[in-house]
Amino acid sequence: MLVAEGGKQFITVLEPSKQLQTHKGVLQHQDLIGQSWGTTIFSHTEHSFLLIQPSLRDILLHTKRQSQIIYPKEIGYILLRLSVGPGSRVVEGGTGSGALTTAFAWAVGSDGRVHSYDRREDMLELAHRNLERIGLTDRVDLNQLDVESGFQEKDIQALFLDLPHAHRYLYQAREAMADGGALGAILPTANQVSRFLSELENKRFSLPDVCEIMLRFYKPNPQRLRPMDRMVAHTGYLVFARAVRSPEND
Amino acid sequence: MLVAEGGKQFITVLEPSKQLQTHKGVLQHQDLIGQSWGTTIFSHTEHSFLLIQPSLRDILLHTKRQSQIIYPKEIGYILLRLSVGPGSRVVEGGTGSGALTTAFAWAVGSDGRVHSYDRREDMLELAHRNLERIGLTDRVDLNQLDVESGFQEKDIQALFLDLPHAHRYLYQAREAMADGGALGAILPTANQVSRFLSELENKRFSLPDVCEIMLRFYKPNPQRLRPMDRMVAHTGYLVFARAVRSPEND
Amino acid sequence: MLVAEGGKQFITVLEPSKQLQTHKGVLQHQDLIGQSWGTTIFSHTEHSFLLIQPSLRDILLHTKRQSQIIYPKEIGYILLRLSVGPGSRVVEGGTGSGALTTAFAWAVGSDGRVHSYDRREDMLELAHRNLERIGLTDRVDLNQLDVESGFQEKDIQALFLDLPHAHRYLYQAREAMADGGALGAILPTANQVSRFLSELENKRFSLPDVCEIMLRFYKPNPQRLRPMDRMVAHTGYLVFARAVRSPEND
Amino acid sequence: MLVAEGGKQFITVLEPSKQLQTHKGVLQHQDLIGQSWGTTIFSHTEHSFLLIQPSLRDILLHTKRQSQIIYPKEIGYILLRLSVGPGSRVVEGGTGSGALTTAFAWAVGSDGRVHSYDRREDMLELAHRNLERIGLTDRVDLNQLDVESGFQEKDIQALFLDLPHAHRYLYQAREAMADGGALGAILPTANQVSRFLSELENKRFSLPDVCEIMLRFYKPNPQRLRPMDRMVAHTGYLVFARAVRSPEND
């Protein structure tokens, strides 16, 4: 990753014959290869760039996208709510551009596995390219299947839904899950949250929990510390629940 | 974990001869051992409890504490900002009650390592007990040392400070870090953020970033969806930066 | 108003023979009468109290209540959205404890008029006492009537609804309003907002607008400036619209 | 005010020979004069516009500006904190573009008075034009004076500062204020809040209070209710205090 003065970031894979064109001049990949992390590099117009490894958050924010992506502020919290860590098996309904898929693949490590479903081929191809970029394709199964026909896995401890009409697939989700497993979903509207909660009650889920996360950045000026002028007001409502052996009102 | 009607949670390690006393009656550990996750259990007063595995977030919220702990909403985001995942080596200045230590230990897996420092013996003992509870002690070095005298590690990619006067230890932090490594800190007051940012500029760090995370829960009633009446307004300001080879204004 | 060390406020009307009992000792009303505003007074236990005129905000927060009241953060914004000022005529559906009624009465001045409706006698009596406390009863008509049977006023420029099932009374509201008048409502749940917006479309209203206001306080310590630990997360969703001559989709 | 489809607002004073040019076609002022509020009007390209009286909030948001203005979300709350209503005398240090001046002038009615100070002639001229537009100039004194040399008024109950280095003028503010009067200020940075609070302690002020107000809008779609994507993250910190007869730590 190269960070220009002013903060604009460029994430790229270096190849000897290529060059990086920016609003602050051109950089030859050849000149970057072998440089240490944390070094300052200059473009042909003498603008400085900082060469730095992208954090997982940087990579997630630079996911190439054809759809709304989930932000790092939500993703970090989802990992903790679904206990996704080294060795986990995770199922994802709705691959989309693959930002959350990438985070899951990174968190489960080489012993874990991510099973992701989307019915759109173009989305799966995009997600594949996003995963390939950071070398995580071999931890992920990308399935071109409609979630309506069910997931192929069983006894899953962590399952996440990021789909239109997510409330329609709670039966399929429950069938794939172990007793006690953790379910999560992101839903854009309050109406969808209501429908999702209604369906949860009848589908052997319990402990429903709804929240939203707001992240506010500050201008990092020590003499003039103040929040940025504008912020993201909404990405989605997060809903979590736990799989139980019998319906809530049994 | 047992969840009572109304949502109160009890996390405990089961031992045959013990019993769990709650506001909704008594449960014999003996009766719980061998039960499936997701099962409903009844106390001697016929109140129902749900037997469920605690998520990492549940465990973190139940950290036994003698000090303010960092909340899951911040911890998830810190993992992504510092790229802490399977195999990572992480240094933590300020063990405290060990909530963040636990999350780091969980995220780095059996191939990773967490080096945590605190000068208070009582804190380290508490953190040890909290780690022991979930079997993660063997991934963590707890060092009873004042951070002022420096960290013992070198070439660290991820270092987090949760200490009074954190701005005083930036030299020590930088010495332990690899070029390009990621630094994070949590600071309770705006004044401390200003001081921290001022020090960063002179200590071979760049790309400073300040933010705060707000989490708002909703009452999960599908017919009456609305936010809870009250919420946490502040745990701390998060500051992040990257280690660079030369000072920002070189 | 007397403010104790620590910030606790006591608002009372002084009468020579009375005394004020507090957690920090007793004060004789007789000793307070004639004292200047801004003076420090001592209780019999030598605790200091600041004698100060309550602001409108202080009075509103001390409204004696039998129901949820609207907070000053919302009330100030409502005044601006409904253009309620000197000389205004305002109609309120749902008097409740009378906090908003008080703010309206105060803002319209001696040339304005507030017409407030509630079907519950006990609420109207409580609101009357709250208004009497600050001498504003003569600007307010309190009507013990069900809003379902309609408002008695016509050509009203500003009308506010704070009622259960507010969406049922939009026809009655529109009948009382002038073309172009401003409507406001506070609704506790997202489901009610959806219903209210659906009804608005068919009732000669346009320019619907939904928002929520969050107010976060800080500990006013110059060396340790930081937000309070907790805050109000929700009082209600505010909905505004304008009365138009023909339905939106005519 | 004319509101186009999509919500864009045009506030103008009608003159027979003029026309309003918009992105959705041209409207002749002549055709608008005499029309009822709440009427739908069509441009020469057949786009519809709603003719509606601007609310005070609409007027404030359309203040012609050369400087950052205070938003309605803050202004409404300031009115309640300073008890500015019919008949009030208010002093304002820092006229700026005159948005808050306009709100004060509107709220105090024809019996009240607003005394506003700015050392910049261009700002006062701009504020004058903004006040003229809605006919409120005769309630406002605009003084081209540096606040450092003091305010000309005495015994003021409500005084507001919106000035660079506001903490330098607390002595002058206190001199103009009555015992028990209410002071307010808006400050852009946390550092300024700290300095302001430090100065307050020594200048016969007490009961300091710091807060910030966040306003989040929703897309008013009843079937797809959700917050807007982005929002204002910061306009300023609000600080309030009360004038007392002797310093806090006397």
Chain mean pLDDT for chain A: 93
Chain A, chain C: beta-carbon pairs less than 8 Å apart: 9
Output the pLDDT for position C247.
59
> Does C96 score more than 50 pLDDT?
yes
Asked if C198 is an interface residue toward chain A (Cβ–Cβ < 8 A), one would say no
Q: Name the residue among D85, B189, A235, D207 with its Cα closest to residue C106.
A: D85
Nearest chain B residue to C216 by CA distance is: B233
Say what the alpha-carbon torsion angle C203, C206, C211, C213 is, to the nearest 10 degrees: -90
Per-residue pLDDT of A211-239, as tens digits, reads: 999 999 999 999 999 999 999 999 999 99
pLDDT for C71-83, tens place per residue?
Answer: 999 999 999 999 9
The pLDDT, as a whole number, for residue D247 is 59
| CA-based nearest residue in chain A for residue D215 | A233
What is chain D's mean pLDDT, rounded? Answer: 93
Q: Does B188 touch chain A (CB under 8 A)?
A: no
Q: Kindly state the average pLDDT of the residues D17-30.
A: 90
Q: Which two structure tokens, joined as six digits, stand for D165?
A: 């280095």
| pLDDT at site D71 | 92
pLDDT at position C149 over 80: yes
Q: Which residue of B has its CA nearest to C232?
A: B230
Q: Do B230 and C227 touch (CB under 8 A)?
A: no
> Is the CB of C225 less than 8 angstroms away from the CB of B189?
yes
Is the pLDDT at D173 greater than 70? The verdict is yes
3-state secondary structure chain C: CEEECCCCEECCCCCCCCEEEECCEEEEHHHHCCCCCCEEEECCCCCEEEECCCCHHHHHHCCCCCCCCCCHHHHHHHHHHCCCCCCCEEEEECCCCCHHHHHHHHHHCCCCEEEEEECCHHHHHHHHHHHHHCCCHHHEEEEECCHHHCCCCCCEEEEEECCCCHHHHHHHHHHHEEEEEEEEEEECCHHHHHHHHHHHCCCCEEEEEEEEEEEEEEECCCCCCEECCEEECCCCEEEEEEECCCCCCC
* CB-based contact, B231 to chain D, within 8 Å: no
A194 neighbourhood in chain C, CB within 8 Å: 190-191
Residue A242 to residue B79: CA distance in whole angstroms: 24
Query: D189 and A225: CB-CB below 8 Å?
Result: yes
C53 near A CB under 8 A? no
What pLDDT, in 10s, does the model give residues C109-128? Answer: 999 999 999 999 999 999 99
CB contact under 8 A, A226 and D234: yes
Res A248 pLDDT > 60: no
Cβ distance of D233 and A234 shorter than 8 Å: no
Residue type, B172: Q
pLDDT at B250: 40
> Which chain C residues contact residue B226 at CB under 8 A?
188-190, 234
3-state secondary structure of B15: coil
C215 touches chain A (CB under 8 A): no
* Residue contact C231–B229, C-beta within 8 A: no
Q: Which residue in B86, B211, B217 is closest to A109 by CB distance?
A: B86
- Give the model's confidence band at C250: pLDDT under 50 very low, under 70 low, under 90 confident, else very high: very low
pLDDT band at A67 (very low <50, low <70, confident <90, very high): confident
pLDDT digits (tens, 9 = 90+) for B7-48: 889 988 888 889 999 888 999 999 888 888 988 999 989 998
Mean pLDDT for the stretch of residues C90-111: 96
> Looking at the partner chain, which of B190, B223, B232 has a beta carbon nearest the beta carbon of C229?
B232
Chain D residue at shortest CA distance from B190:
D190
CA distance C124 to D205: 38
Nearest CA in chain D to B212: D233
- Chain A interface disruption, residue of B79, B90, B226, most A CBs within 10 A: B79
What's the average model confidence in pLDDT over B87-110? 96
The residue among D194, D197, D211 with the most chain B CBs within 10 A of its CB, best to mutate, is D194
Interface check for C76 against chain D (CB to CB < 8 A): the answer is yes
- In percent, the amount of chain B with pLDDT more than 90 equals 73
Q: How confident is the model over A148-199, as pLDDT tens digits?
A: 999 999 999 999 999 999 999 999 999 999 999 999 999 999 999 999 999 9
- Look up residue C145 and give its two tokens: 């009537």
Q: Over 60: is that where the pLDDT of B248 sits?
A: no
**What element of type H or E holds B58?**
helix B56-61
Q: Whole-structure pTM over 0.90, yes or no?
A: yes
Q: What is the ipTM of this complex?
A: 0.93
Residue of B194, B217, B231, B238 to mutate when probing chain C, most C C-beta within 10 A: B231
Question: Which residue of chain C has the CA closest to A211?
Answer: C233
Mean pLDDT throughout B108-127?
96
Q: What single DSSP character describes residue B89?
A: E
Residue of B193, B194, B197, B214 to mutate, interface with D, max D Cβ within 10 Å: B194
- D246 interfaces chain B, CB cutoff of 8 Å: no
**Mean pLDDT score of chain B:** 93
Interface partners of chain C (CB pairs < 8 Å, 3 or more) are: A, B, D
pLDDT of D216 above 90: yes
Mean predicted lDDT score pLDDT of chain C:
93
Q: In Å, how far is A171's CA from the nearest CA of chain B?
A: 16
Going by C-alpha positions, the residue among A85, A86, A99, A94 that lies closest to residue A115 is A94
| Least Cα separation, residue B137 to chain C (angstroms) | 32
Question: Are B108 and B139 within 8 A, CB to CB?
Answer: yes
Mean pLDDT over A54-77 rounds to 89
Q: Reduced to 3 states, what is the DSSP secondary structure of residue A50?
A: strand
Q: Report DSSP state, residue D169.
A: G
Residue A190 forms contact with C (CB below 8 Å): yes
Confidence band for A13, pLDDT divided at 50, 70 and 90: confident
Instruction: Report whether pLDDT(B112) > 50.
Output: yes
Cβ-defined contact of D216 to C214 (cutoff 8 Å):
yes
Quick one: pLDDT at residue A249? 45
Question: CB-based contact (8 Å) between C231 and chain A?
Answer: no
Residues in CB range of C105: below 8 A, 6 or more apart: C114, C131, C136, C139, C140
Helices A72-81, A99-108: axis angle to 10 degrees equals 40
Q: Give all chains having 3 or more CB-to-CB distances under 8 Å with chain A.
A: B, C, D
Closest chain B residue to D195, measured at CA: B191
Q: What's the pLDDT score for residue B247?
A: 58
Q: CB pairs below 8 Å between A and D: how many?
A: 52
Chain B residues in contact with D216 by the CB 8 A cut-off are none
Among the partner-chain residues A60, A180, A193, the one whose CB lies closest to the CB of B52 is A180
Q: C228 contacts in B (CB within 8 Å)?
A: 233-234
CA distance D61 to D84: 20
Asked if B110 has any chain A CB less than 8 Å from its own CB, the reply is yes
Within an 8 Å CB–CB cutoff, is residue B193 touching chain D?
A: yes
The 10s digit of each residue's pLDDT in A135-152 is: 999 999 999 999 999 999
Partners of residue B210 in chain A, C-beta under 8 Å: 217-220, 225
Q: Searching chain A, which residue's CA lies closest to the CA of residue D190? A: A225
CA distance to partner chain B, nearest, from residue C193 (Å): 10
Which position has the higher pLDDT, C248 or C87? C87
Q: Given pLDDT bands bounded at 50, 70 and 90, which one contains residue A202?
A: confident
Q: Per mean pLDDT, which range of A126-130, A200-204, B99-103, C180-184 is the poorest?
A: A200-204
More confident residue, D104 or D201: D104
Look-up of token digits 């200020």:
D185
Mean pLDDT across the stretch B168-195?
97
B34 in reach of chain A (CB within 8 A): no
